[in-house]
Chain A
Amino acid sequence: ETGVTQSPTHLIKTRGQQVTLRCSSQSGHNTVSWYQQALGQGPQFIFQYYREEENGRGNFPPRFSGLQFPNYSSELNVNALELDDSALYLCASSLQQGARETQYFGPGTRLLVL
């Protein structure tokens, strides 16, 4: 087990709705990254938060936003859901120290948009 938890495990929403996904990082990890994994694809980087500030963003529109809190928890918010947002959403926590950083993934939240 990686010590990274995510909630909920599954979620069904309809197009146009908003959703909030939650992640609890390993204690002491100062960085959290979010990835979207469509069926049959590898994870795609959404963004990363380091010490509660956004620290890099992938090719995702602004309706994908996030927050990181001091208690090692974080959120991914998606507004105006589209059918293509259906995917497994993964968070990964890590400790940035020096050049090497190992990301530990949670089990993911499976989102279905109807």
Chain B
Amino acid sequence: QKEVEQDPGPLSVPEGAIVSLNCTYSNSAFQYFMWYRQYSRKGPELLMYTYSSGNKEDGRFTAQVDKSSKYISLFIRDSQPSDSATYLCAMSARGNNRLAFGKGNQVVVIP
């Protein structure tokens, strides 16, 4: 079983729709949870950073962490064509700064 599972299937949505992405993980030591956005031929860019369980909202983006289920989610409201990118979940444990990534979801927002 991989440490971080992210269904890599591409996702196409119409502009204005809600995008829902999720990851599951197996390592109970993970306490820091991140979502990165990666445009084609670019490095990953940090979108959201959450510590432990709970919700965090930043503009159109909401990150949720459920440690009891080992499940994290990212929601993008009112999606825009500029949101078209690959979204990677990442996590790390306290005292260990190695980031463990999921495979990424390619999201296409159709105008």
Residues of A within 8 A of B (CB): 2, 4, 31, 33, 35, 40-45, 48, 55-56, 58, 90, 92, 94, 96, 99-108, 110
Contact = CB atoms under 8 A, between A and B. Distances in A.
Contacts of B17: none
Interface of B is mostly: strand
A43 B98 contact: no
Task: Kindly state the interface size class of chain B when it binds its partner.
Answer: 20 to 34
A45 B99 CA distance: 7
Interface of B: 4, 6, 8, 32, 36, 41-46, 49, 51, 88, 90, 94-104
B45 A56 contact: no
B43 to A, nearest CB: 4
Contacts of B43: 2, 4, 90, 92, 105-108
B98 A42 contact: no
Max chain A C-beta neighbours (<10 A), residue from B41, B43, B95, B96 = B43
B88 A42 contact: yes
Given A42-B6, A48-B97, A56-B97, 4 more contacts: A42-B101, A43-B101, A58-B98, A103-B99
B103 A56 contact: no
Given A40-B8, A100-B51, A45 B88 contact: no
Max chain A C-beta neighbours (<10 A), residue from B94, B101, B103 = B101
Q: Lowest 7 A-B CB distances belong to which pairs?
A: A42-B101, A105-B43, A45-B98, A107-B43, A105-B44, A42-B103, A43-B101
A107 B43 CA distance: 4
13 contacts: A4-B43, A33-B98, A33-B99, A35-B99, A41-B103, A41-B104, A42-B4, A43-B99, A45-B98, A48-B98, A105-B36, A107-B43, A108-B42
A2 B45 contact: yes
Contact of A96 (B97, B98, B104): B97
B8 A94 contact: no
A4 B46 CA distance: 13
